[in-house]
Amino acid sequence: MITADEFIAAAKARGHDFYTGVPCSFLTPLINGVLSSRALTYVGAASEGEAVAIAAGAWLAGRKTVVMCQNSGLGNAVNPLTSLNAPFRIPTLFVTTWRGQPGQPDEPQHEVMGRITQDLIELIELPQAEFPAAPEALGPALDQAAARMDETGLPYAFVMKKGDVRDEDLRVQEPGHRLNLEGASRLYGKDNGPRPSRAAVLERFLALTNDRTAVVATTGKAGRELFTLADRKQHIYQVGSMGGASGMALGVALNTTAPVVVLDGDGAALMKLGTLATIGAYKPGNLLHIVLDNGVHDSTGGQPTVSSTVDFAGIAIACGYHFAINCSSLEGFESAFQIASEREGPALIHVRIAPGSMDKLGRPTVAPADVARRFKDFLAGLRPAAIGVGSAS
């Protein structure tokens, strides 16, 4: 058995200073220890998959990350671990608890996952080890994890049993986030006429944004069209992990003063709608969230989403975004972008567009791992600047 402070200190000595995750009672000492340290960052996520995406963004911005969750949430994390971390070769230290451990009394909902936890981690091809539960094991275990992450570019999993970390009394924390809508504003667009294509909106976006703005594009045709129109080192094109772009952008925005824009889709935003709450709680002032809403799953044959009944801008304000606006024309989008550029974020632009995509639609020809490192180098090379969305230079 070790104390939370022993693990945190050993991990911090090896550079791990950004934590995110979803709580488990086994993790209480670790989470409280991280929350109590001014030298560490903890982002509480709405889901385990969101936490993986947030950590990926933080790694791109230069942080060494730890994701913590209960093994019952492994299913939520499988998609980003396999379709985000694996192709982009983004490592993180992944600490999962072992609820339902065979032979240990536990609740019935943990029985199946308790039997398959290690098998599932092995199946998704992550290196793993038992959580280092003795002080003398901490250093060697963390060094081995670091070596494997350097070697593979993949996350490394520790499986934590009950009792591995000494229970401690809860360190009382003031609520970290309070909903405060004072100063928040919502504008309603009055656009008329046919809705623009996604490509037309992206062309206008490229004309408006500057070369210091980090851009995270959601998976599917949004990223493909952006790449076809202009491939820039400041772009990262998600090729999987649907719904994870906003979480990744949050992880980036919390760790840079550069402007960050996430180009989201209606289907993707709906899949991880809880991320709007996380963004609204942590309030990165340099984040602009653009939802390109064509009402369909365009990459899979045009099946309808339920976005026609969803007010993304209203949801954003209710979640704590500072500014949100609707639009449905190129002129409306340009006006919305310029207004957002002058406001403190997080901001959201909900732009309704026409279904369909470019006739000659390409795919990114740069390998995901190369895109990730190019993007990471771009962020590392930026000089500190005032927070804001930016305008074309």
Q: How far apart are CA 183 and CA 188, in angstroms?
A: 16
Question: Is 246 in contact with 271 (CB distance < 8 Å)?
Answer: no
Residue that is written with structure tokens 């936490």 in the block = 51
Q: How far apart are CA 267 and CA 342, in angstroms?
A: 28
| Of 92, 6, 392, the residue nearest 213 (C-alpha) | 392
| Of 157, 163, 158, 149, the residue nearest 131 (C-alpha) | 158
CA triple 2-104-29, angle to 5 deg: 30
Mean pLDDT by 10 residues, the chain (393 residues): 95 97 92 91 96 98 97 95 97 97 92 96 97 96 98 97 84 64 73 88 96 95 94 94 96 97 96 96 97 88 88 95 94 94 94 88 91 97 53 41
Phi, psi angle pair for 240, to nearest 5°: -165, -155
Does the domain spanning 185-380 belong to CATH 3.10.450.50? Answer: no
Structure tokens at 220: 């599917």
Rounded to two decimals, the pTM is 0.93
Residue 175 is predicted with a pLDDT of 56
Half-sphere exposure of 237 (CA within 13 A, CB side): 24
Indicate the residue type of 196: P
Residue 186 is predicted with a pLDDT of 79
Which residues in 190-220 are b (16+ Cβ under 10 Å) and which e? Answer: ebeeebbbbbbbbbbbeebbeeebbbbbbbb
Residue that is written with structure tokens 């993949």 in the block = 154
CATH ID of 4-160, from 3.30.70.120, 3.40.50.970, 3.40.50.300, 3.40.190.10: 3.40.50.970
Residue 171 is predicted with a pLDDT of 63
Domain boundaries, the chain: 4-160, 185-380
Q: How far apart are CA 152 and CA 125, in angstroms?
A: 10
Residue 45 is predicted with a pLDDT of 97
Q: How far apart are CA 154 and CA 371, in angstroms?
A: 16
Compute CA distances 65 → 114, 183, 249, 268, whole Å: 25, 33, 15, 24
Compute CA distances 372 → 6, 153, 174, 342, whole Å: 32, 11, 37, 29
* Secondary structure element (H or E) that encloses residue 17, with its range: strand 16-21
CA triple 146-151-155, angle to 5 deg: 60
Domains 4-160 and 185-380 are alike in CATH topology: yes
